């Protein structure tokens, strides 16, 4: 199952944010085991580098980004994705770009803790707990 991971899920793991880190880390493990095909939007990578650089050294932030690039496939942000995102009725353009980049590559769902941000999605939207339960049933 192709799943797009929202930025908040990745940050939960990298910053060990309680109480979210445990479920998010289990989803990372599902990707590593091949039970999910995990995708990150290209702009998620740059956002994560920027945010990690505030709490870690720039070199350490780059190491974390390199690990993500080994685990996840990347959903590109193209001119078409950006234009398409402008035409949708999401409240947050960043969420819209994430959504459209995933749609472009054929993901089936988005995993996020921000359900409100993806309320206008025509993709399935799962919380980490919901997705973990679903994957465990497969």
Fold classification of 2-137 (topology level): Rossmann fold (3.40.50)
Is the per-residue pLDDT at 12 higher than 90? Answer: yes
Residue 64's pLDDT is what? Answer: 96
Residue 23's pLDDT is what? Answer: 98
pTM of the model: 0.95
Q: How far apart are CA 30 and CA 115, in angstroms?
A: 21
Q: How far apart are CA 100 and CA 36, in angstroms?
A: 20
Q: How confident is the model at residue 38 (pLDDT cuts 50, 70, 90)?
A: very high
Contacts of 89 (CB under 8 A, 6+ apart): 120
Is the per-residue pLDDT at 86 higher than 90? Answer: yes
């Amino acid at each position: 199952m192709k799943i797009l991971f929202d930025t908040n899920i990745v940050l939960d793991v990298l910053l060990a944010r309680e109480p979210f880190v445990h479920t998010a880390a289990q989803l990372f493990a599902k990707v590593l085991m091949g039970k999910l095909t995990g995708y990150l939007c290209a702009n998620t990578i740059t956002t994560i580098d920027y945010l990690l650089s505030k709490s870690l050294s720039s070199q350490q932030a780059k190491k974390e980004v390199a690990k993500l690039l080994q685990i996840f496939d990347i959903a590109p942000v193209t001119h078409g994705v950006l234009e398409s995102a402008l035409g949708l009725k999401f409240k947050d353009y960043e969420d819209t770009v994430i959504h459209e980049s995933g749609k472009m590559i054929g993901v089936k769902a988005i995993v996020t803790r921000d359900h409100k941000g993806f309320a206008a999605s025509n993709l399935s939207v799962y919380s980490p707990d919901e997705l973990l339960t679903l994957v465990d049933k497969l």
